[in-house]
């Protein structure tokens, strides 16, 4: 009789989106034909931009031609895409060699797989409220998890201290779900802390494209010293609408070493063992995101989501309800009115105005009493949802 990985028995049921689906399903069954204003999930609503679609079509045609056909791709990414992404960083003043960039199938896959580089005895610090995968991926591996709650006092951007000492430090900025973004100074304190303690920061930059304020760092490698303590995990999902197309990238500087082991070399060894690379067609589509035309077009899409965010923020301002995020992030994290619990507020919005959001409690205990709105929805739906929200809460 084999012994399965018994750590799976320690996982809490992933009830957040399941519960939301159950509740909305029951509501629709009782009210057939009613339209729901879905502001809960973090999926995008706009299609891929023209430059990407053109590149995808061309790449499909390449695969039909013997002279241009591509078989297996290099495991760490096609040189054309690694070079394009590294150049994208270099244009912003971040020194990076092409082989410090790895192409992935998305941040989710990578956030799980990258843990192969760490011993099971390593502890992991998770700043909460947090994207639930950080905790679950470490529970599966049997690692000790340190939960660091954040809150209104620190603007959901806590400072490191004795209690936050851990081997792996998760930092997500702009944050899902709070929308909070670390300043250079604050992120710098985490970089110094990691270097002093020999920790490694896993920096989740899935939402970096939403940062408009030039003073805020879009990459941890804008911070001096990050090259010796950080791995950056990025995604084209929200930047360019690749949620269903799947493409991301990870930066592992060659200067990142612990105990005589170089993480960049380890990841090359890992990828060449465990993957056969990302599809040629998708990588061609991804490269188009970084072209001049691609950058212009993805910014147009991001502007649509930002207009959604502006509308919701103005509504909350008029209602006098405190919130975080929205400006440099696609999420708005609001305080539930009148001390309501986050599921109680969820039920109120669903039943009274047919608006669906995400209860904060699903992102960690300190998220209770807060509520997340995604701004990736349809603009007309966002408009009507904002109108309904104002009417309900101004009564
Ligand atoms: N990291 C964060 C913080 C996210 O919110 C998400 C998706 O919602 C991901 C990573 C995963 O992104 P991908 O679609 O690239 O797997």
Do the strands 200-204 and 230-235 form a parallel or antiparallel pair, or are they unpaired? parallel
Query: Which pLDDT tens digit goes with each residue over 273-326?
Result: 999 999 999 999 999 999 999 999 999 999 999 999 999 999 999 999 999 999
Tokens linked to 136: 């679950």
Q: Is the distance from the beta carbon of residue 278 to the nearest atom of ligand 1 less than 6 Å?
A: no
Pairing of strands 358-359, 370-374: antiparallel
Task: List per-residue pLDDT tens for the chain, 395 residues long.
Answer: 999 999 999 988 777 888 899 999 999 999 999 999 999 878 999 999 999 999 999 999 999 999 999 999 999 999 999 999 999 999 999 999 999 999 999 999 999 999 999 999 999 999 999 999 999 999 999 999 999 999 999 999 999 999 999 999 999 999 999 999 999 999 999 999 999 999 999 999 999 999 999 999 999 999 999 999 999 999 999 999 999 999 999 999 999 999 999 999 999 999 999 999 999 999 999 999 999 999 999 999 999 999 999 999 999 999 999 999 999 999 999 999 999 999 999 999 999 999 999 999 999 999 999 999 999 999 999 999 999 999 999 98
Nearest by Cα to 41 from 277, 381, 388: 381
Establish whether residue 42 lines the binding site of ligand 1, counting it when its CB lies within 6 angstroms of any ligand atom. Answer: yes
CA atoms within a 13 Å half-sphere pointing along the CA-CB vector of 188? 8
Cα(110)–Cα(155) distance, rounded to whole angstroms?
28
Handedness of CA 131, 134, 140, 146 (dihedral sign): negative
41 C-alpha to center of ligand 1: Å? 12
What b/e string do you get for 220-233 counting C-beta neighbours within 10 Å, with b at 16 or more?
bbbbebbbebbbbb
Q: Is the Cβ–Cβ distance between 219 and 174 less than 8 Å?
A: no
Alpha-carbon gap, residue 223 to 221, rounded angstroms:
5
The residue among 197, 201, 242, 243 whose CA lies nearest residue 221 is 201
The label of the residue with tokens 């110094």 reads 192
Tokens of 256: 């990142």
Residue whose CB lies within 8 A of the most ligand 1 atoms, among 176, 282, 362, for a mutation test: 176
Pocket of ligand 1, candidates 235, 239, 248, 250: which has the most ligand atoms within 8 Å of its Cβ, to mutate? 235
Residue 180, CA distances (Å) to 35, 133, 327, 334 in order: 31, 18, 9, 12
What pLDDT is attached to residue 42?
81
176 Cβ closer than 6 Å to some ligand 1 atom: yes
Residues 6+ apart with CB under 8 A from 216: 181, 182, 183, 184, 328
Residue from 16, 103, 107, 172 whose mutation best tests the ligand 1 pocket (most atoms within 8 A of CB):
107
237 touches ligand 1 (CB under 6 Å): yes
Cβ of 245 below 6 Å from ligand 1: no
Tell me, which fold does domain 50-292 have in CATH?
3.40.640
What stretch(es) of the chain map to CATH 3.40.640.10? Answer: 50-292
State which ligand 1 atom lies nearest to the alpha carbon of 131.
3
CA 353 to ligand 1 centroid distance, Å: 29
Asked whether 248 lines ligand 1 (CB < 6 A), one says: yes
Domain with CATH 3.90.1150.10 in the chain: 7-48+294-393
Cβ atoms of residues 345 and 337 within 8 Å: yes
| 3-class state of residue 279 by DSSP | coil
Please give the pLDDT value at position 395.
Answer: 81
Helices (H), 141-183: none
Per-residue model confidence (pLDDT) at position 394: 94
Name the pairing type of β-strands 331-335 and 370-374. Answer: antiparallel
Whether 324 contacts 118, CB under 8 Å? no
Write down the pTM of the prediction: 0.97
Question: Considering the domain 7-48+294-393 in this protein, what is its CATH number?
Answer: 3.90.1150.10
Are the C-beta atoms of residues 234 and 106 closer than 8 Å to each other?
no
What would the pLDDT profile of 197-209 be if each residue is shown by its tens digit? 999 999 999 999 9
In degrees, to the nearest 5, what angle opens at C-alpha 271 toward C-alphas 108 and 172? 30
Whose Cα sits closest to atom 8 in ligand 1?
Answer: 42
Number of H helices, E strands in the chain: 12, 15
* Ligand 1 binding pocket includes 235 (Cβ within 6 Å): yes
| Segments of 176-217 assigned E as strands | 200-204
* Residue whose structure tokens are 């797989």: 113
């Amino acid at each position: 009789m084999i012994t399965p990985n018994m750590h799976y028995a320690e996982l809490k049921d992933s009830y957040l989106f399941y519960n939301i689906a159950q509740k909305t399903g029951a509501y629709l069954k009782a009210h057939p034909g009613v339209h729901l204003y879905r502001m809960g999930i973090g999926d995008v609503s706009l299609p891929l931009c023209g430059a990407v679609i053109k590149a995808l079509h061309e790449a499909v045609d390449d695969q039909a031609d013997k002279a241009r056909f591509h078989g297996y791709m290099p495991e760490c990414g096609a040189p054309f895409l690694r070079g394009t992404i590294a150049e994208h960083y270099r244009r912003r003043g971040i020194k990076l060699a092409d082989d410090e960039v790895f192409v992935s199938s998305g941040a989710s896959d990578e956030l799980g797989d990258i843990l192969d580089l760490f011993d099971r005895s390593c502890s992991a610090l998770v700043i909460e409220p947090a994207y639930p995968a950080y905790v679950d991926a470490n529970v599966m591996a049997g690692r000790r998890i340190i939960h660091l709650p954040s809150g209104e006092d620190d603007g959901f951007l806590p400072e490191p201290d004795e209690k936050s000492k851990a081997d792996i430090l998760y930092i997500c900025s702009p944050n899902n779900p709070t929308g909070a973004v670390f300043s250079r100074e604050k992120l710098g304190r985490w970089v110094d802390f990691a270097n002093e303690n020999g920790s490694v920061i896993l920096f989740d930059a899935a939402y970096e494209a939403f940062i408009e304020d030039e003073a805020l760092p879009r990459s941890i490698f804008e911070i001096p010293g990050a090259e010796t303590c950080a791995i950056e995990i990025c995604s084209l999902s929200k930047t360019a609408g690749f949620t269903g197309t799947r493409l991301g990238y990870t930066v592992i500087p060659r200067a990142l070493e612990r105990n005589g082991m170089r993480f960049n070399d380890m990841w090359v060894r890992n990828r060449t063992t465990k993957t056969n690379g990302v599809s040629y067609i998708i990588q061609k589509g991804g490269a188009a995101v970084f072209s001049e035309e691609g950058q212009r077009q993805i910014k147009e899409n991001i502007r649509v989501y930002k207009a959604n965010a502006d509308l919701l923020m103005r509504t909350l301002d008029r209602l006098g309800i405190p919130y975080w995020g929205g400006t440099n992030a696609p999420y708005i994290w609001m305080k539930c009115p009148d001390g309501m619990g986050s599921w109680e507020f969820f039920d109120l919005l669903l039943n009274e105005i047919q608006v669906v959001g995400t209860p904060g409690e699903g992102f960690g205990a300190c998220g209770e009493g807060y509520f997340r709105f995604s701004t990736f929805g349809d603009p007309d739906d966002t408009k009507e949802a904002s109108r309904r929200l104002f009417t309900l809460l101004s009564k």
